Each structure stands twice: as C-alpha cells, then as structure tokens.
Chains A and B, each alone.
Chain A
C-alpha cells in the first residue's frame, strides 16, 4: 500500500493512494462548504462509485471529525507523546505547523 499525504491538502492533489480518495476529499469539502463542489452532485458520485452504505459511512466519519476537532481545539489537547516525534515530518507536508492549534503541543 503506497499512501501519501498529498490528498490531505485538498481536492486537486490526487487520491493519496487511497481508492476513491479524490472523490472522498471532495465529499468532505462539500460537507464543510469549502471549495466549489455541489454537495448533492458529489453525493451522487460517491453513491455511484462506492454504494449507498459507503456514502452514509463516509458522511458519518467526516461528521465525527467535526466533533473530534472541536473537542481537541476547544480543550487545548496536545499531541500524544508517541505521535509528537513523528509529527514534524508529517505536518510539514500540509502546513499544519501554521495552525493555531499546533501551539498546544510543546516543541
């Protein structure tokens, strides 16, 4: 499995080595109201390519991260120690070190 983080940067950056990755990124962006995607159009594409169960589960996962992100950013949650050592090489790739929430993890 050859997975890259390019797709995390947004649509137009490929599928990241993930099956239907580019389509799923567009679904996430349409749900969040970013980009110029029309939610109903992207949903139709996901359903056609992956099925209705996958559409519902994909929407559920993104919705769940809207919860997780609010818990983490709203409580000043630092990265776990086991991840902190790996983080710089990963976060550099999509600019996460510029996030205000990166200040919650001691460097």
Chain B
C-alpha cells in the first residue's frame, strides 16, 4: 500500500494515516501560544532528543556545549522541557513543573508543548516501531498565535490549569450495572489535561480515537474486538507501555 505518509506495503489503516497526516499539518500551523516556527522547532527537538546519546535527567541539554544551536527559535527552558518529557518521562514531578511555570514558561506555552511532544512521540514511536522513515515535517505556516485562554481555566485537579469542556464525543457505553461502578463518571481527567489549549486537546483525542479505541467505546464490552485486536490485547499493550513509562494514571 503506498500512501502519502508512509511508503510501505504494510496495511496501515486509513484512520491512522489520516489522523497522523492531520497532526503533521497541525504541528506546522500557528498555535495558541507558539508560532508555527516555534512549534516545528519543538517537533524537531523531540526527534533530536530521541536520537541523541542519552543524557542523565539532571543535565539540561541547553547547558551542553555544541548540542543546541545558538539561533534556536525556542528558549532554553522549552528545549530542556522537550528533552526531559521525551527521554525522562518517569522523573517528572510537581516541583519540576513549578520550577518552569510561570517563571520560565507560561502555563499555556507549557501545555501546548506537552501536547506537541506527546503527539510527536506517538507518530515517531509508530514509525520507528515498524522501521519506517518518520514522516517528513511540513513547512511552517505564517500566522500569529491566537493567545486565547478558555473561560474559567484554573488550577484544580492537575498541576496545570484546566477548563471545563463540552465533549460530545465522550459517550461511554454503560456496562456498569451490577459492578458497583457508576456510569455517570464524567469526563476522565486525562481527557481534560490539555483543556487550557483546546486545539491540543482536540488533536490528542483525534489521534486516540484512531489508534486506540473511539471515546465512546472506552467503557465498552471487554470481550469485543477493536480493529484487528482483541480488547484484552489492547489493554495489555497499553498497560505494559504505561508500566515502562511509570505512568500511574
């Protein structure tokens, strides 16, 4: 199968191709707090971090002579954050976050970068996992960041400020009867995590729906199959990946 994104005979589903293509377009577009040039630089920095000889987490890459170009579009704090989240995910703490925000980065910038770093890690782990060339980045698109903050954004449950969201795609099937769990669980916390920067939250869930299970099926029957996998296989893959990344959520 030849596609515009991956030149391969592997049967990559159209949902994966179309949403990853959308992500590439998204990365090269002006953001909420960052320009397209800054966003593209962040994406390139994720790739540089993944491919570099590993640095210990306590060494900031911006302090390593010759590692980061002097004319980099991103401030040192953003570069160091990209490397830390990409290569040392198990070491992130509230204290680390508070050292960055707001003294070195605005909360909106931080959340936008988390969105980008996460999306690039998905696309590149997918390509690397199949030994395919990583998709080529698009040229940055001219334009200014919108700098729009959602109404009622505040720090409540997460480190970062979050905002109430209306999420029509979150319609879990109720299989809770007799389990002691309530079906009225509301929107999961991870679904609200990037709500300070709505375009990143939306992109996150577009990718999730295509690669994992659609939002409405999250609470679905565990015996069902999704795509070409059995649901327990999907959950085992997710659980083992999360264990490697030491993600409690």
Cα distance A94–B246 when bound, in Å? 10
Interface size on B, residues (CB 8 A): 70
Contact of A10 among B94, B240, B248 (CB under 8 A): B240
Q: Is the CB of A100 within 8 A of B93?
A: yes
Contacts of A43 in B (CB 8 A): 130-131
Most buried by B among A3, A7, A34, A78: A78
Flag if B190 contacts A61 (CB, 8 Å).
no
Q: Residue-by-residue, is A64-97 near B (CB-CB < 8 Å gives 1, otherwise 0)?
A: 1111111111111111111000000001001010
Given contacts A21-B236, A56-B13, contact A61 B248 (CB under 8 A): no
Complex contact B241–A75 (CB within 8 A): no
Assess whether A69 is in contact with B89, with CB atoms less than 8 Å apart: yes
C-alpha spacing A61/B223, complex, angstroms = 17
Residues from chain B with Cβ under 8 Å of A36 in the complex: none
Across chains A and B, the number of contacting residue pairs, with CB separation under 8 Å, is 242
Known: A74-B114, A77-B189. A39 touches B131 (CB 8 A): yes
Cross-interface CB contact of B232 among A18, A69, A96, cutoff 8 Å: A18
For A10, the chain B residues whose CB sits under 8 A away are: 240, 243
A-B contact pairs, 27 of them (CB 8 A): A8-B239, A10-B240, A18-B232, A19-B230, A24-B237, A31-B129, A57-B229, A58-B233, A59-B129, A63-B122, A63-B126, A65-B242, A65-B245, A70-B85, A70-B114, A70-B118, A74-B117, A75-B114, A76-B158, A77-B157, A77-B249, A80-B188, A100-B246, A101-B247, A101-B249, A102-B248, A104-B94
